[in-house]
Amino acid sequence: MPEIDFFQFFRYFLAIVVTIYATVLTLQSLWEWYVWLAGSDKYISLIRRYIIVQGLRLRFKTFWGDVMICLLLCVVFGLLWRAHYLVYDLKNTVRYVEQRSQSW
């Protein structure tokens, strides 16, 4: 009988569902903003210019700390993901070592 880890199945299933959900919501929101800002009303044009000016005035040096924090959090996430994989694979390694020791 195959060994099925229901926690692993649930975790992968949840990751797929949440990723698809977040992607769909983000794309819908971006599309709504695009449609709203593409309007020809006088005030919408003013808002559109204001957003462009604020984007041009953005100082990237002030956000460098936030960018570094985001990169460090991504590194920590990768390390935790790798650690979880190693712990999950530890069961197979122990089983292999036990089989090798019994064969001697």
pLDDT (tens digit per residue) in 27-79: 999 999 999 889 888 999 899 999 888 888 877 677 788 889 999 999 999 99
pLDDT-based confidence at 91, cuts 50/70/90? confident
Give the tokens for residue 24. Answer: 């769909």
| Residues counted in the chain | 104
SS3 15: helix
Q: Which residue, among 56, 51, 19, has the nearest Cα to 38 in the 3D structure?
A: 51
Residue-range domain boundaries for the chain: 1-58, 60-104
**Tokens 């390694």 belong to which residue?**
93
pLDDT bracket for residue 104 (50, 70, 90):
low
Q: Residue 23: is its pLDDT beyond 90?
A: yes
* Three-state secondary structure call for residue 103: helix
CA distance 23 to 26: 5
Which of 11, 20, 18, 19 shows the shortest CA–CA distance to 85?
Answer: 11
